[in-house]
């Protein structure tokens, strides 16, 4: 009897072991039968997950179920709506499944499912391949009280979420899984639906067509690496910053609400030619995607409804007016004047060889150069080295100045309303290839400043301060260097300050020796040679900030009461370098008590000038201890 029982037990054991062996050979492991061991802390919960293999995402919560499939143009929902899935949501879900790790785990039976938010009916996510193979299947609960840290030099905290794997053999443990995608599944999964009318790569666009109350407008470009141009209604250069704003705005423009068009009530006018439109066409596409923006019911409305041609089942509620944190229609540059290049010129400064400055009241000034020679200013046939600061100011003004408005793009023959029939200023630029650009400037009866490029029908309105940057008087173009002074030839230097006796200095450059006299007595022992040398350096390199008219009343009045006077004596030499005499120079400086402007004048030159206040302070440095 015992033998029979023992034989029976052995037969049963052999059968069980044989069955387990067959199961293991077929499934690769016994996990589905006996259960998988829990994922180790710090390890991926789905270590073999491949995001690229996922073609189906199914999300369910209670009776709400949404399914999304990957198509050639992106993720599309098949239920509960037929529409585009927000690609950012798809990326977030796949990234979570691919990267989430176990921060901790607990046996499922030891955790209250209601407390963890894991009761039946909570959010479940199923990720499958094209053949239906399950790559990940899990239920999400609430956020856990645990936090994880990123593996960086400056680690950041990562939230964790209760996660229950739903694959056979893995349902025995609940994990504190790193990451939190719970906000995606609020409000009936509405955040999984793409609220943005357009989804495109800005680099791939070939054409943008706009229709507004101001008219129709088309932007285009020949290739992705070429600049955008306005091609209709006029061929115009665009403002790169404005085009960038438009592209970024079209990418981020989003609806505040989405509804199914089949159950929505549209205005009786529906989509009409009077509606505003934004249409985009990628390179290689035969059709455009059109956003049709319906008129608001009232001008005070902050939102309106819109439809998109490639999403026929959806109705968008679009913000019309600026709202914090949202991109609205009001934030988009949609008119010709918004998008056109507002710069006065697009000069290539390196190619400029000549500039003519003509006014109705002053002689024509010609600024020219032949590289590598310096710029020269020619007035009435007399040439001299040009003032580089005045040249810089002019070139900066004509290349940086932007129109504040465009008056017309079809200028009539009568330009008198803008004062352009008798320009107050005309600038003509000559390039190295002999091309010319002429711009006329006029003032209307109200004093507004306008500009028109010769050969262009457009008239721009400019800010009047533009004229302050253009030097139109001949003396403005004198070089900023005050004089030619060399310490090698200097023999005597006298400085007189108001209310003090003159300080007389003699200088021997070869020996670098100074002697000083004050009120008839020698004070060489009190002279600081370093300060005297510093003063001489300032005088040698003295720069004028602006040359003034010979009749400048403010300068002449100030110079009647000098604050500082310098007298200098230099040796002169002949063509062989031998001394043949001496030459005397004087510099008079005065300070206007109200404006604090420092005026100056030198011997033999009728034109006063101004110097920087800090230069005047350097020239006033005490020389005696």
* pLDDT digits 0-9 by tens, 321-352: 998 999 999 999 999 999 999 999 989 999 99
Instruction: Indicate left, alpha or beta for 404 from its phi (over 0: left) and psi (-120 to 50: alpha).
Output: alpha
Structure tokens at 257: 């609400």
- DSSP letters spanning 16-74: HHHHHHHHHHHHSSSHHHH-PPPPPTTSBSSTT--GGG--EEEEEETTEEEEEEEETTE
Which of 144-158, 354-368, 416-430, 580-594 is the least confident region?
144-158
Structure tokens at 358: 């003509």
Question: Which pLDDT score is estimated for 328?
Answer: 95
Cα–Cα distance measured from residue 296 to residue 300, given in angstroms and rounded to the nearest whole number: 8
Residue 80 pLDDT > 70: yes
Q: Which residue has the higher pLDDT, 335 or 264?
A: 335
Mean pLDDT of the chain: 90
Question: Was domain 349-477 assigned CATH 3.40.50?
Answer: no
- DSSP letters spanning 385-410: EB-HHHHHHHHHHHHH-B-SEEEESS
Interval 593-606 mean pLDDT = 94
Residue 16 pLDDT > 70: no
Half-sphere exposure of 148 (CA within 13 A, CB side): 23
pTM for the model stands at 0.72
Question: Which pLDDT score is estimated for 27?
Answer: 45
For the chain, the domains span 32-192, 202-339, 349-477, 490-619
Interval 520-544 mean pLDDT = 94
Residue 519 pLDDT > 50: yes
Residue 250 pLDDT > 80: yes
> Helix (H, G, I), strand (E, B), or coil: what is residue 529?
helix
Interval 184-197 mean pLDDT = 93
Question: Which pLDDT score is estimated for 263?
Answer: 72
Question: Which pLDDT score is estimated for 32?
Answer: 47
Closest CA to 545 of 612, 467, 477: 612
Residue 318 pLDDT > 60: yes
- DSSP letters spanning 251-297: HH---SEEEETTTS---TT-S-TTSEEEEEEETT-SS-EEEEEPPPS
* pLDDT digits 0-9 by tens, 543-584: 999 999 999 999 999 999 999 999 999 988 877 777 888 999
Cα–Cα distance measured from residue 540 to residue 493, given in angstroms and rounded to the nearest whole number: 12
Q: How sure is the predictor about 509, in pLDDT bands with cuts at 50, 70 and 90?
A: confident
Question: Was domain 490-619 assigned CATH 2.60.40?
Answer: yes
């Amino acid at each position: 009897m015992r033998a029979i029982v023992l034989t029976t037990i052995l037969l049963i054991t052999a059968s069980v072991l044989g069955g387990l062996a067959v199961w293991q050979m077929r499934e690769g492991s016994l996990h589905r039968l006996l259960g998988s061991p829990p994922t180790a802390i710090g390890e991926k919960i789905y270590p073999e997950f491949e995001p690229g293999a996922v073609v189906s995402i199914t999300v369910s919560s209670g009776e709400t179920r949404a399914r999304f499939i990957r198509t050639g143009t992106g993720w599309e929902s098949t239920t509960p709506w037929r529409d585009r899935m927000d690609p950012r949501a798809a990326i977030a879900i796949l990234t979570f499944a691919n990267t989430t790790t176990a921060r901790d785990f607990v046996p499922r039976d030891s955790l209250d499912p209601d407390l963890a938010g894991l009761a039946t009916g909570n959010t479940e996510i199923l990720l499958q391949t094209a053949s239906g193979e399950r790559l990940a299947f899990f239920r999400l609960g609430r956020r856990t009280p645990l936090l994880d840290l990123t593996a960086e030099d400056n680690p950041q905290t990562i939230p964790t979420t209760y996660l229950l794997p739903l694959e056979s053999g893995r349902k025995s443990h609940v994990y504190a899984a790193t990451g939190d995608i719970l906000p995606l599944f609020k409000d009936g999964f509405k955040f999984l639906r793409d609220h943005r009318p357009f989804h495109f790569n800005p680099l791939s666009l070939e054409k943008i067509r706009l229709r507004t109350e101001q008219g129709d407008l088309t932007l285009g470009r020949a290739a992705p690496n070429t600049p955008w141009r306005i091609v209709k209604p006029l061929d115009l250069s665009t403002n790169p910053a404005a085009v960038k704003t438009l592209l970024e705005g079209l990418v981020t423009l989003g609806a505040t609400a989405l509804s199914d068009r089949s159950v929505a009530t549209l205005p009786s006018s529906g989509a009409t030619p009077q509606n505003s439109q934004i249409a985009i066409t990628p390179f290689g596409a035969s059709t455009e995607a059109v956003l049709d923006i319906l008129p608001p019911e009232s001008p005070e409305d902050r939102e309106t409804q819109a439809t998109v041609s490639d999403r026929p089942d959806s109705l968008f509620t679009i913000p019309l007016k600026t709202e914090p944190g949202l991109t609205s229609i009001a934030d988009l540059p949609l008119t010709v004047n918004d998008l056109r290049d507002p710069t006065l010129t697009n000069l290539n400064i390196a190619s400029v060889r000549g500039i003519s400055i003509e006014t109705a009241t002053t002689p024509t000034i010609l600024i020219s150069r032949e590289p590598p020679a310096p710029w020269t200013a020619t007035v009435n046939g007399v040439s001299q080295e040009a003032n580089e600061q005045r040249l810089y100011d002019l070139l900066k003004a004509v290349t940086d100045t932007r129109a504040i408005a465009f008056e017309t793009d079809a200028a009539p023959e009568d330009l008198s309303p803008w004062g352009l029939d008798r320009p107050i200023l005309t600038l003509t630029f000559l390039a190295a290839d002999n091309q010319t650009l002429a711009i006329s400037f006029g003032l209307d009866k109200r004093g507004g400043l306008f500009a028109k490029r010769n050969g262009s029908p457009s008239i721009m309105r400019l800010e009047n301060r533009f004229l302050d940057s253009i030097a139109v008087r001949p003396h403005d173009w004198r070089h900023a260097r005050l004089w030619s002074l060399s310490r090698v030839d200097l023999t005597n230097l006298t400085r007189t300050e108001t209310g003090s006796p003159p300080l007389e200095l003699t200088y021997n450059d070869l020996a670098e020796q100074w002697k000083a006299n004050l009120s008839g007595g020698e004070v060489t022992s009190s002279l600081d040679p370093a300060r005297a040398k510093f003063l001489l350096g300032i005088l040698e390199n003295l720069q004028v900030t602006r040359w003034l008219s010979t009749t400048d009343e403010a300068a002449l009045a100030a110079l009647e009461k000098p604050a500082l006077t310098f007298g200098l004596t230099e040796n002169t030499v002949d063509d062989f370098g031998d001394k043949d005499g001496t030459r005397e120079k004087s510099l008079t400086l005065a300070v206007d008590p109200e404006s604090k402007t420092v005026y100056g004048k030198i011997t033999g030159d009728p034109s006063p000038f101004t110097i920087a206040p800090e230069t005047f302070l350097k020239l006033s440095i005490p020389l005696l201890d």
